[in-house]
Amino acid sequence: MKKVLILLADGTEEMEFTITYDTLVRAGASCTSAYVPAQERTEANSTFSNPPFAKGSRGINILPDTYFSPQEASPDKYDLLVIPGGAKGAETMSTSSPVQHLVREYLREGKHVGMICAGSLTALTSALPKQPVTSHPSVKMQLEKDFEYSEEPVVVSGNLVTSRGPGRHSFELFRNMLQ
C-alpha cells in the first residue's frame, strides 16, 4: 500500500485538502495529514505534542492526524508528498524551511511531490530548478520568472506535479501516481 503525506496549515483550502485525501484513500493509499504551524506559532508553542485544529481558508476546522515533524515526514516513510493551496496555508508551507528541505529531499529520492493551486509557491521557495509548473493565477507572476509557466490544468515535470486548482485532472493524476 502506498503511503501519502498531505500537509495542512491554517488557511489551507479545505476542498484541496479533503478531496485530495479522500481521492487517494479511495485509490487504496494510506494517507496521513500533518499540521504545519506558522512561524510565530512554532516558536511560541514548540511544546505541542498533539496538533491543533487547522482553520481552513473558509473557516472550517480540520483535525490533522499529526503535528509536522521533518524526521517523521521523510521520504523513506512516504511515497508522495502533497502541498495543497489556500493563500495563507500556502504562505505558511512555502516559507517553512523544513518543508522546503523536505520537498527537495523527496525529489532527490525520486519520490513524487504534488502542489495544488497556490501550494506551487513552495517550488519557488524550495529553490527547485527551472522546469514546467502551473498554479493558481494569483501566484503566476511570482513563478513565471523562475519556471516555465504553463496555463495547463496539471503539469508533470519529472516527479513534480503542479495543478491550477482542485479538479478531476489533479486527482486522477495523483491516483495514477500511486499505481
Whether 82 and 116 have beta carbons less than 8 Å apart is answered as: yes
Per-residue model confidence (pLDDT) at position 165: 82
Whole-prediction pTM value? 0.90
Spatial neighbors of 168 by CB under 8 A, at least 6 apart, are none
Catalytic-residue membership of 16:
yes
Tell me: the pLDDT tens digits for 58-107?
989 999 999 999 999 999 999 999 999 999 999 999 999 999 999 999 99
Which of 8-22, 76-90, 159-173 is predicted least confidently? Answer: 159-173
Query: What distance in Å separates the CA atoms of residue 85 and residue 93, rounded to the nearest whole number?
Result: 9
Catalytic-residue membership of 117:
yes
Query: What distance in Å separates the CA atoms of residue 124 and residue 126, rounded to the nearest whole number?
Result: 5
Per-residue model confidence (pLDDT) at position 43: 44
Per-residue model confidence (pLDDT) at position 44: 43
Spatial neighbors of 16 by CB under 8 A, at least 6 apart, are 84, 85, 86, 116, 117, 119, 165, 166
Per-residue model confidence (pLDDT) at position 167: 73
Q: What does pLDDT average to over the chain?
A: 90
Angle of helix 14-26 relative to helix 168-177, nearest 10 degrees? 40
Region of residue 50 (phi > 0: left; psi between -120 and 50: alpha; otherwise: beta): beta
Residues in the chain: 179
Of the residues 13, 16, 91, 105, only one is catalytic, namely 16
Average pLDDT over residues 113-135: 97
Catalytic-residue membership of 31:
no
- Cell (9 digits) for 168: 478531476
Residue 172 has pLDDT above 70, yes or no: no
Residue 46 has pLDDT above 80, yes or no: no
